[in-house]
Amino acid sequence: MATVRYNGVDYAIDRGQDLLGGLLEHHASIGYLCMSGSCGTCRVHVEAGDDLLSQPAHLERAHGCDGDERLACQAIIIADGTIILTQG
């Protein structure tokens, strides 16, 4: 299980879960529209823990995510640890 700190609040999210789905299960206030990577609305800034996430998906690169930006709907938690995110 990973600890995802999103905008200063910690959430426990299981490995294998995408960031968006995990945060929504905890009723976190995260911007999103499509949940499939086509809109880019769920873009987040990964301040720490990028190595705990899957490799960037094609849709993330298509939306111009680079470096520390990811689409929360496409980023899958692959390892336990702490991931720190912000949005907006």
User: What CATH number is attached to the domain comprising 18?
Assistant: 3.10.20.30
Domain hosting 11: range is: 2-83
- What pLDDT shows up at residue 88? 75
Cα(52)–Cα(26) distance, integer angstroms: 20
- What pLDDT shows up at residue 60? 86
Q: Is the overall model pTM greater than 0.85, yes or no? A: yes
User: Which residues does 39 contact at the CB level (< 8 Å), separation at least 6?
Assistant: 32, 33
From first to last of its 88 residues, the chain has per-residue pLDDT tens of 999 999 999 999 999 999 999 999 999 999 999 999 889 999 999 999 999 999 998 888 888 888 899 999 999 999 999 999 999 7
Evaluate whether residue 88 is within a structural domain: no
* Total tally of structural domains belonging to the chain: 1
Task: Give me 18's structure tokens.
Answer: 């995408």
